[in-house]
Amino acid sequence: MERVVCSFEGGKGPLFVVSAAMHGNETSGIAALKETCEILNHEKKTNPDLKFRGTFAGILGNIQAINKNVRYIENDLNRMWESDFVYDILKEDVNKQMNEVKEMHEIIITLRNYVITGKYNKLYLLDLHTTSSDGIFVICTEDKESKQIAGHLHAPLVRGLLKGISGTTLHYFNKNNLGIEATALAFEGGHHEDPLSVKKNGCRHIQLYEKYWLHRRYGRS
Ligand SMILES: [Zn+2]
Protein backbone atom coordinates (compact mmCIF):
# COMPACT_ATOMS: atom_id res chain seq x y z
CA MET A 1 0.00 0.00 0.00
CA GLU A 2 1.22 3.45 -0.87
CA ARG A 3 1.44 5.95 1.98
CA VAL A 4 -0.04 8.74 -0.16
CA VAL A 5 -3.48 7.75 -1.40
CA CYS A 6 -4.20 11.05 -3.07
CA SER A 7 -2.24 14.20 -3.75
CA PHE A 8 -4.14 16.93 -5.51
CA GLU A 9 -2.28 20.12 -6.16
CA GLY A 10 -3.66 23.54 -6.93
CA GLY A 11 -2.43 27.10 -6.67
CA LYS A 12 -1.03 28.95 -3.71
CA GLY A 13 -2.63 27.89 -0.47
CA PRO A 14 -2.26 25.61 2.54
CA LEU A 15 -1.22 21.99 2.76
CA PHE A 16 -4.30 20.03 3.76
CA VAL A 17 -3.40 16.58 5.05
CA VAL A 18 -6.14 14.05 5.72
CA SER A 19 -4.93 10.93 7.46
CA ALA A 20 -6.89 7.68 7.49
CA ALA A 21 -6.46 4.50 9.51
CA MET A 22 -3.98 5.62 12.13
CA HIS A 23 -5.79 2.66 13.65
CA GLY A 24 -5.55 -0.16 11.14
CA ASN A 25 -9.09 -1.49 11.64
CA GLU A 26 -10.66 1.92 10.90
CA THR A 27 -10.64 1.72 7.14
CA SER A 28 -13.67 3.80 6.23
CA GLY A 29 -11.39 6.83 6.12
CA ILE A 30 -9.38 5.17 3.33
CA ALA A 31 -12.48 4.66 1.24
CA ALA A 32 -13.46 8.27 1.97
CA LEU A 33 -10.08 9.48 0.73
CA LYS A 34 -10.39 7.48 -2.47
CA GLU A 35 -13.85 8.89 -3.11
CA THR A 36 -12.60 12.40 -2.48
CA CYS A 37 -9.78 11.91 -5.01
CA GLU A 38 -12.27 10.70 -7.59
CA ILE A 39 -14.48 13.73 -6.99
CA LEU A 40 -11.55 16.14 -7.26
CA ASN A 41 -10.18 14.52 -10.41
CA HIS A 42 -13.62 14.45 -12.01
CA GLU A 43 -14.13 18.10 -11.13
CA LYS A 44 -10.78 19.01 -12.63
CA LYS A 45 -11.72 17.35 -15.91
CA THR A 46 -15.27 18.61 -16.16
CA ASN A 47 -15.20 22.03 -14.55
CA PRO A 48 -12.87 24.51 -16.27
CA ASP A 49 -13.72 27.08 -13.60
CA LEU A 50 -12.36 24.97 -10.77
CA LYS A 51 -10.02 26.99 -8.61
CA PHE A 52 -8.20 24.84 -6.11
CA ARG A 53 -5.92 26.56 -3.67
CA GLY A 54 -3.29 24.58 -1.85
CA THR A 55 -2.57 20.88 -1.84
CA PHE A 56 -4.80 18.09 -0.63
CA ALA A 57 -2.81 15.07 0.52
CA GLY A 58 -4.58 11.93 1.67
CA ILE A 59 -2.24 9.66 3.59
CA LEU A 60 -2.48 6.29 5.27
CA GLY A 61 -1.67 5.80 8.94
CA ASN A 62 -0.76 2.31 10.13
CA ILE A 63 -0.27 0.34 6.90
CA GLN A 64 1.00 -2.81 8.59
CA ALA A 65 -2.06 -2.87 10.86
CA ILE A 66 -4.38 -2.14 7.90
CA ASN A 67 -3.00 -5.22 6.15
CA LYS A 68 -3.85 -7.32 9.20
CA ASN A 69 -7.11 -5.52 9.93
CA VAL A 70 -6.08 -4.82 13.51
CA ARG A 71 -5.97 -1.60 15.51
CA TYR A 72 -2.18 -1.85 15.86
CA ILE A 73 0.62 -4.39 15.81
CA GLU A 74 2.70 -3.50 18.84
CA ASN A 75 1.85 0.02 19.95
CA ASP A 76 -1.10 2.31 19.39
CA LEU A 77 0.09 4.67 16.64
CA ASN A 78 -2.20 7.36 17.94
CA ARG A 79 -0.58 7.40 21.38
CA MET A 80 3.03 7.71 20.29
CA TRP A 81 3.24 11.28 19.01
CA GLU A 82 5.47 12.64 21.76
CA SER A 83 7.96 15.27 20.57
CA ASP A 84 11.02 13.66 22.19
CA PHE A 85 10.11 10.20 21.00
CA VAL A 86 9.58 11.33 17.42
CA TYR A 87 12.82 13.30 17.53
CA ASP A 88 14.72 10.19 18.64
CA ILE A 89 13.25 7.79 16.10
CA LEU A 90 14.01 10.18 13.25
CA LYS A 91 17.71 9.84 14.03
CA GLU A 92 17.62 6.13 13.27
CA ASP A 93 17.44 4.22 10.00
CA VAL A 94 13.80 3.80 9.01
CA ASN A 95 14.60 0.55 7.21
CA LYS A 96 15.74 -1.02 10.44
CA GLN A 97 12.68 0.04 12.38
CA MET A 98 9.70 -2.15 13.12
CA ASN A 99 5.95 -1.90 13.37
CA GLU A 100 4.49 1.42 14.51
CA VAL A 101 7.87 3.14 14.88
CA LYS A 102 8.51 2.56 11.19
CA GLU A 103 4.99 3.75 10.33
CA MET A 104 5.46 6.95 12.27
CA HIS A 105 8.87 7.59 10.75
CA GLU A 106 7.51 7.12 7.24
CA ILE A 107 4.57 9.44 7.91
CA ILE A 108 6.93 12.19 9.07
CA ILE A 109 9.17 11.72 6.02
CA THR A 110 6.10 11.94 3.77
CA LEU A 111 4.97 15.18 5.38
CA ARG A 112 8.45 16.64 5.35
CA ASN A 113 8.67 16.04 1.62
CA TYR A 114 5.72 18.37 1.21
CA VAL A 115 6.89 20.93 3.75
CA ILE A 116 10.46 21.26 2.44
CA THR A 117 9.17 22.44 -0.92
CA GLY A 118 8.63 25.74 0.88
CA LYS A 119 5.29 26.17 -0.92
CA TYR A 120 3.20 26.15 2.20
CA ASN A 121 3.06 28.39 5.21
CA LYS A 122 0.26 26.47 6.87
CA LEU A 123 -0.60 22.84 7.40
CA TYR A 124 -4.04 21.54 8.34
CA LEU A 125 -4.50 18.00 9.55
CA LEU A 126 -7.81 16.18 9.64
CA ASP A 127 -7.31 12.77 11.24
CA LEU A 128 -10.13 10.36 10.34
CA HIS A 129 -11.29 7.66 12.73
CA THR A 130 -14.26 5.43 13.44
CA THR A 131 -15.39 4.00 16.75
CA SER A 132 -17.06 0.95 18.22
CA SER A 133 -20.22 3.02 18.77
CA ASP A 134 -22.49 4.77 16.29
CA GLY A 135 -21.78 8.32 17.39
CA ILE A 136 -20.06 10.87 15.21
CA PHE A 137 -18.11 13.77 16.66
CA VAL A 138 -15.25 16.16 16.08
CA ILE A 139 -12.29 16.52 18.41
CA CYS A 140 -10.46 19.82 18.31
CA THR A 141 -7.44 21.15 20.12
CA GLU A 142 -7.40 24.30 22.23
CA ASP A 143 -6.00 26.17 19.21
CA LYS A 144 -8.41 28.96 18.26
CA GLU A 145 -8.57 27.97 14.60
CA SER A 146 -9.06 24.29 15.41
CA LYS A 147 -12.14 25.21 17.47
CA GLN A 148 -13.35 27.56 14.76
CA ILE A 149 -13.09 24.92 12.01
CA ALA A 150 -14.69 22.28 14.22
CA GLY A 151 -17.73 24.51 14.48
CA HIS A 152 -18.18 24.25 10.71
CA LEU A 153 -18.20 20.48 10.50
CA HIS A 154 -21.82 20.00 11.51
CA ALA A 155 -21.12 17.34 14.09
CA PRO A 156 -21.03 17.40 17.88
CA LEU A 157 -17.81 18.85 19.18
CA VAL A 158 -15.87 17.21 21.98
CA ARG A 159 -13.47 19.38 23.91
CA GLY A 160 -11.17 18.45 26.77
CA LEU A 161 -10.69 14.86 25.58
CA LEU A 162 -7.03 15.48 24.85
CA LYS A 163 -6.31 16.32 28.48
CA GLY A 164 -6.90 12.74 29.57
CA ILE A 165 -4.60 11.14 26.99
CA SER A 166 -1.27 11.91 25.35
CA GLY A 167 0.65 11.20 22.16
CA THR A 168 -2.18 11.67 19.66
CA THR A 169 -1.67 13.35 16.31
CA LEU A 170 -3.55 16.35 17.70
CA HIS A 171 -0.93 16.72 20.42
CA TYR A 172 1.92 16.64 17.92
CA PHE A 173 0.78 18.61 14.90
CA ASN A 174 1.78 22.15 15.80
CA LYS A 175 4.41 24.66 14.77
CA ASN A 176 6.97 23.58 17.36
CA ASN A 177 7.11 20.08 15.95
CA LEU A 178 6.55 20.66 12.24
CA GLY A 179 8.31 23.92 11.60
CA ILE A 180 5.26 25.53 9.98
CA GLU A 181 1.99 26.73 11.43
CA ALA A 182 -0.29 23.75 11.90
CA THR A 183 -3.88 23.26 12.97
CA ALA A 184 -5.25 19.80 13.68
CA LEU A 185 -8.63 18.16 14.19
CA ALA A 186 -9.87 14.60 14.42
CA PHE A 187 -13.16 13.32 13.12
CA GLU A 188 -14.90 10.21 14.43
CA GLY A 189 -17.15 9.14 11.57
CA GLY A 190 -19.33 6.51 13.25
CA HIS A 191 -19.14 2.76 13.69
CA HIS A 192 -16.19 0.84 12.20
CA GLU A 193 -18.49 -1.44 10.18
CA ASP A 194 -21.09 1.11 9.10
CA PRO A 195 -20.85 1.83 5.34
CA LEU A 196 -22.22 5.29 6.08
CA SER A 197 -19.04 6.08 8.02
CA VAL A 198 -17.29 6.43 4.67
CA LYS A 199 -19.76 9.07 3.58
CA LYS A 200 -19.61 10.85 6.90
CA ASN A 201 -15.81 10.89 6.91
CA GLY A 202 -15.57 11.90 3.25
CA CYS A 203 -18.23 14.50 3.64
CA ARG A 204 -16.43 16.19 6.48
CA HIS A 205 -13.23 16.85 4.61
CA ILE A 206 -15.09 18.08 1.53
CA GLN A 207 -17.19 20.23 3.84
CA LEU A 208 -14.13 21.46 5.65
CA TYR A 209 -12.44 22.37 2.42
CA GLU A 210 -15.42 24.04 0.80
CA LYS A 211 -17.10 25.76 3.65
CA TYR A 212 -14.09 26.89 5.53
CA TRP A 213 -11.13 27.52 3.27
CA LEU A 214 -12.73 28.44 -0.01
CA HIS A 215 -15.39 30.67 1.45
CA ARG A 216 -14.05 32.01 4.67
CA ARG A 217 -10.31 32.01 4.53
CA TYR A 218 -9.39 32.61 0.94
CA GLY A 219 -12.61 33.79 -0.64
CA ARG A 220 -14.03 32.03 -3.64
CA SER A 221 -13.33 33.49 -7.04
ZN1 LIG B 1 -9.15 5.49 15.87
pLDDT per position as a tens digit, 191-204: 766 666 566 666 56
* One-letter amino acid for residue 80 of the chain: M
* 171-193: average pLDDT: 88
Q: How far is the CA of 98 from the centre of ligand 1 (A)?
A: 21
Q: How far is the CA of 119 from the centre of ligand 1 (A)?
A: 30
Write the CB contacts of 47 (distance below 8 Å, at least 6 apart in sequence): none
DSSP string, 164-212: S--S-HHHH-SHHHHSSEEEEEEEEEEETT-THHHHHHHHHHHHIIIII
In the chain the domains, ranked by start, together with CATH numbers, are 14-184 (3.40.630.10)
Q: Name the percent of the chain lying above pLDDT 70.
A: 86
Predicted TM-score (pTM) of the model is: 0.87
Q: Name the percent of the chain lying above pLDDT 90.
A: 57
Q: Is the pLDDT of residue 126 over 90?
A: yes
Q: How far is the CA of 26 from the centre of ligand 1 (A)?
A: 6
Q: How far is the CA of 199 from the centre of ligand 1 (A)?
A: 17
Q: How far is the CA of 220 from the centre of ligand 1 (A)?
A: 33
Poorest-pLDDT segment among 13-27, 100-114, 121-135, 168-182: 121-135
Poorest-pLDDT segment among 16-25, 31-40, 176-185: 31-40
Q: Give residue 36's pLDDT.
A: 86
Neighbours of ion ligand 1 (CB under 5 A): 23, 26, 129
Q: Is the pLDDT of residue 142 over 50?
A: yes
- Which range of 48-52, 79-83, 146-150, 191-195 scores highest in mean pLDDT? It is 79-83
> Would you call 28 helix, strand, or coil by DSSP?
helix
Q: How far is the CA of 192 from the centre of ligand 1 (A)?
A: 9
